[in-house]
Amino acid sequence: MRQNGTYATNLISRRTIANAQASARRTADRLIADTSRTSAEFPQVLANHLPMLLEILCRLGATAQRLEEFAEFYSRSNCLPPLPAEIAPISIADWQAALGDRRREADYRRFFAAETRRLGGSGAIRRYVPVLAQGIGASALHGLMRLAYGVLRKDEDEIGIALGYWAATWLKLRDEPAGPPDIDEPIALAALMQAEPAFRAVAVETDLLWHWMRAVGGKAEFAPLIGRLRCGPDLLERVTGASLLLYAGTMTFEGLHALTGSYWVRLISPLLDDPIALARFFWQAILAVYPKIGMPTPFDDRAMDALRAIKSPPLAEIAAAAVASNDEHHPSLVFTALQDYARTLDPIYPVLAAKRVALID
């Protein structure tokens, strides 16, 4: 009888958990759909993370109530504006003419919604991301982020919105190779920047990441930099390793975007005919914010191994801390780190995630 009672209790518990998860999923899907009525940015030109965060929080174990509470908090705190009015239709023939014009967000979103219906989400990505990738700095990589989570969700509405957002905020950096590629390690390009005085005298009107990308990425000294990187099928792995070094060694906001951004590139890459180009443009954008943090020397192997030796809390505890936080970057970093840990089993990822949410020093 005791065994039967235990079995029944466990069965009820599993059903309760499954019902809670199903409720959270329905709530996340509804709230994400609701975000389509708002602009992808809010004053002063900051990225609206809400649709991506709702997906992340749901996958980290948030309840339906927590998702509702977070959506209300985020919307109220950031005064999320409605989608602006349309100006003029965009067509296949002229779709590149207004790239980077934020006033055309609604026009681009309408265009890409239609293209996503016509081609399918994967088809629209394959058709348009090769051009959009050249302006990957869009809204400080958040066009890339929104597209990546649309892909993760298999959500064609979100894919269309993300492509439109990326197009309206498109930001191209100078890319003028001066010779054949001669460097294998992406992090070595950062080391080259340390010796260039021009990168220590950057005039930026605000502290926004995309303003730094624009200022650094427009310099003559920056123009040949990414052209020195040897590209090949393993480029994303090399870029991911460099992003890990940059975040682990700095724990900065900028390093966080390198680590999370490499995951976004990984989500989108299987849908592209030339995924190498996306990784290349992504690393170029990260190099453009490296001067913002003073261009510190990345960690060496000994420092990385010291981090790996730290005992991290249980993964569930790390996830719960991220879910409880109202810091919009805690869940993003934690989710990325746990995904990369599942892929690599590298113990440094849970350590970095636990550090981000202050579970360890």
Q: Is 9 a residue whose pLDDT tops 80?
A: no
Domain range for 328: 301-356
> Are 195 and 243 members of one domain?
yes
- Tell me whether residue 253 is in a domain: yes
At 229, give phi and psi (nearest 5°). Answer: -85, 125
Query: What are the pLDDT digits (tens) for 325-344?
Result: 999 999 999 999 999 999 99
Sign of CA dihedral 105, 111, 114, 118: negative
Q: Is 96 a residue whose pLDDT tops 60?
A: yes
Q: Is 3 a residue whose pLDDT tops 60?
A: no
Query: What are the pLDDT digits (tens) for 177-230?
Result: 999 999 999 999 999 999 999 999 999 988 899 999 999 999 999 999 999 999
Burial of 23 (0-12, 13-18, 19+ CB in 10 A): middle
How many Cα atoms within 13 Å fall on the side-chain side of residue 290? 32
- Tell me whether residue 252 is in a domain: yes
How many Cα atoms within 13 Å fall on the side-chain side of residue 49? 19
> Are 287 and 191 members of one domain?
yes
- Tell me whether residue 285 is in a domain: yes
> Are 237 and 335 members of one domain?
no
- pLDDT of 12: 61
- pLDDT of 1: 43
Query: What are the pLDDT digits (tens) for 129-163?
Result: 999 999 999 999 999 999 999 999 999 999 999 99
> Are 330 and 351 members of one domain?
yes
Element (H, E) at 41: strand 41-42
Q: Which residues pair with 41 in a beta bridge?
A: 47
- Tell me whether residue 233 is in a domain: yes
* pTM metric for this prediction: 0.95
- Tell me whether residue 211 is in a domain: yes
Q: Is 290 a residue whose pLDDT tops 80?
A: yes
What pLDDT band is residue 5 in, cutting at 50, 70 and 90?
low
The pair of structure tokens assigned to 249 is 């060694």
Percent of the chain beyond pLDDT 90?
93
Q: State the helix-helix crossing angle for 50-60 and 329-344, rounded to 10 degrees.
A: 50
- Tell me whether residue 125 is in a domain: no
What is the domain count for the chain? 2
What pLDDT band is residue 165 in, cutting at 50, 70 and 90?
very high
Spell out the alpha helix ranges (H) of the chain.
2-34, 50-60, 64-78, 105-132, 142-153, 156-168, 186-194, 209-217, 235-250, 253-268, 275-289, 301-308, 315-324, 329-344, 348-356
> Are 203 and 252 members of one domain?
yes
Tokens 């908090």 map to which residue? 73
Burial letters 167-177, b for 16+ CB under 10 A, else e: bbbbbbbbbee
> Are 312 and 256 members of one domain?
no
> Are 207 and 225 members of one domain?
yes
> Are 306 and 284 members of one domain?
no
Q: Is the peptide bond before 65 cis (omega within 30 degrees of 0)?
A: no
Q: Is 11 a residue whose pLDDT tops 80?
A: no
Sign of CA dihedral 70, 149, 165, 155: negative
Average pLDDT, whole number, for the chain?
A: 96
Q: Where is the domain boundary, 273, 293, 313? A: 293
Sign of CA dihedral 294, 300, 304, 309: negative
> Are 289 and 321 members of one domain?
no
- Tell me whether residue 258 is in a domain: yes
> Are 200 and 274 members of one domain?
yes
> Are 197 and 276 members of one domain?
yes
Tokens 């010779």 map to which residue? 179
| Residues whose CB is less than 8 angstroms from the CB of residue 39 and which lie 6 or more positions away in sequence, other chains included | 48, 80, 81, 82, 83, 84, 105
Q: Is 124 a residue whose pLDDT tops 80?
A: yes
Q: Would you tell me how many other CB atoms lie within 10 Å of the CB of residue 198? A: 13
Query: Which range, of 14-23, 131-140, 273-282, 349-358, averages the lowest pLDDT?
Result: 14-23
Percent of the chain beyond pLDDT 70?
97
Amino acid identity at 173? L
DSSP string, 110-145: HHHHHHHHHHHHHHHHHHHHHHHGGGBTGGGGHHHH
> Are 309 and 272 members of one domain?
no
Q: Where is the domain boundary, 266, 293, 320? A: 293
Tokens 């590298």 map to which residue? 346
- Tell me whether residue 238 is in a domain: yes
Q: Where is the domain boundary, 293, 319, 346? A: 293
Nearest-angstrom CA–CA distance, 81 and 48? 10
- pLDDT of 17: 83
